[in-house]
Structure 1
Amino acid sequence: MMQRNHRKELVGVVTSNTGSKSVKVTVDYKIPHPLYGKEIKRKTTVHAHDAENACEIGNKVRIVSTRPMSKLKRWRIVDVLK
């Protein structure tokens, strides 16, 4: 059987939990400027599946990519870090 070790993992902060079993997670990352090399802050917001409704706004969570669960949800919560 094929292993699922190729899944992407991200760490972000929960910014919204208004839906049932759904949360919005903001992930911050840095990229170097193509010409000058200075690191630039960027962020992206992803929709994630929270099976136990355990997340509150402001929690730091680890998410992994998964199969599409709805129109926007492609990630699921693995654990709550803080």
Structure 2
Amino acid sequence: MSLLHLHLPLSQFKSLNLSTPFLHGTSAISTKPSAPASHHLRPTYLPPIRAMRSLQGRVICTTNDKTVNVEVVRLAPHPKYKRRVRKKKKFQAHDPENQFQIGDIVQLEKCKPISKKKTFLAIPVPKRNAPKQPTQELGIALESESSSQV
């Protein structure tokens, strides 16, 4: 349906002004959007994604002051044979108190760069082979002990 078929008074169309400052070049073009796009904003209730922020490895060198070299071993599939093989990578980590010795297991936490190659902080990991707490005896004699008494 075109404007000719509408029965509107022509006075409405005469009030329209087609000249704008933008058409004559007097208006500056704004590069910033007038309203922020809501689909680009990150929701505040979701935690930030922290991928590969921590690694675990063994200390292999402690000669530098406040720095330890840590070897991280991971299993990855071989590209041709599809069998899992060990991949090793060495990282330098910050040890502010020089507390780690060669052979210690440490956890590497990502932090801001301390030097050109140091972007991890070494954190101690408790040993797995910690001595177990002795279990309390139930006070019941074993079958082998009771048979020897009879």
TM exceeding 0.5: yes
Following the alignment from structure 1 to structure 2, what is the Cα–Cα distance between the partners of residues 78 and 8? 13
Q: What TM-score, normalized to structure 2?
A: 0.49
Q: 1:25 to 1:4 in 2, by over 3 A?
A: farther
Q: 1:64 to 1:5 in 2, by over 3 A?
A: farther
Name the residue aligned to 1:15: 60
1:29 aligns with 2:74: yes
1:66 aligns with 2:111: yes
RMSD: 1.8
Q: Which whole-Å deviations, capped at 9, do the CAs of 1:14-35 have from their partners, x for residues lacking one?
A: 0001111100000001101234
Number of aligned residue pairs: 80
Following the alignment from structure 1 to structure 2, what is the Cα–Cα distance between the partners of residues 78 and 47? 13
More strand by percentage:
1
Name the residue aligned to 1:57: 102
CA positional deviation for 1:4:
7.2
Identity %: 34
Aligned with residue 45 of structure 1, among 74, 90, 107 = 90
Q: Classify the secondary structure of the residue corresponding to 2:90.
A: strand
Q: Specify which structure has the bigger relative contact order, considering alpha-carbon pairs within 8 angstroms and separated by 6 or more residues.
A: 1
Q: Which whole-Å deviations, capped at 9, do the CAs of 1:11-60 have from their partners, x for residues lacking one?
A: 10000011111000000011012343200111000000011111001101
More helix by percentage:
2
Following the alignment from structure 1 to structure 2, what is the Cα–Cα distance between the partners of residues 63 and 13? 10
Following the alignment from structure 1 to structure 2, what is the Cα–Cα distance between the partners of residues 16 and 32? 28
Q: Which amino acid in 2 is paired with 1:63?
A: L
Preserved CA contact (<8 Å) 1:64 1:77: yes
Q: Where do 5+ consecutive residues of structure 1 fail to align?
A: none
Q: What TM-score, normalized to structure 1?
A: 0.85
